[in-house]
Amino acid sequence: MYLKRLLMLNGPNLNLLGKRENEVYGEFTLQDIENEITKLVEDYGYRLDSKQSNHEGELVDILQAADGEYDGVIFNPAAYTHTSVALHDVIKAISLPVIEVHISNIHSREEFRHKSLLASVCYGQIIGFGKQGYRLAALALLPEQK
């Protein structure tokens, strides 16, 4: 079955983009990112569904339900990147390519952000390119030709 659907999933506090630590995360909102990535994937004939949750278990539920429904996931797990064995396990359990995205360069920040519990089970990781990271992740999941 050819689905042509991508899921963009954002974790805790990313609903606050635009009014949260602008010097780290920029001025743009989550809605701005959603609009931009929706347009990009639609140019390829794909559909984007976008979800955000502040709750670890809900992110697990969304990823479980996504299996078989999407071609790939653009995922910014936010703070759960550094703590969540449950997200590690669900990404390992499903057969979808999941790309881990971080707006900021987590390696140039506090030491507790340097470790990702998810990177080893993700298809790839894109870090430190601001909102451009979501675009790069989408391009990695889309076909080479439009």
Point out the residues that are catalytic.
25, 102
Least distance between ligand DQA and beta carbon 67 (Å): 23
The partner residues of 5 in beta bridges, in order of sequence, read 47
Is the CB of residue 94 less than 8 Å from the CB of residue 68?
no
We find the least distance from the C-beta atom of residue 51 to ligand DQA, in angstroms, to be 16
What is the per-residue burial (b if ≥16 Cβ within 10 Å, else e) of 25-61? Answer: bbebbbeebbebbbebbeebebebbbebbbebeebbe
Annotated binding-site residues for substrate read: 76, 82, 89, 103-104, 113
3 or 85: whose CB is closer to ligand DQA? Answer: 85
Strand-by-strand arrangement of the 47-52 sheet: 47-52, 5-10, 72-76, 98-102, 124-127
Chain centroid offset of residue 13 CA: 13
Contact footprint for ligand DQA (CB under 6 A):
13, 76, 78-79, 81, 102-104, 106, 113
**At its nearest, how many Å lie between ligand DQA and the CB of residue 119?**
12
Q: Which of 5/113 has CB closer to ligand DQA?
A: 113
- The answer to whether the CB of 40 falls within 8 A of the CB of 138 is yes
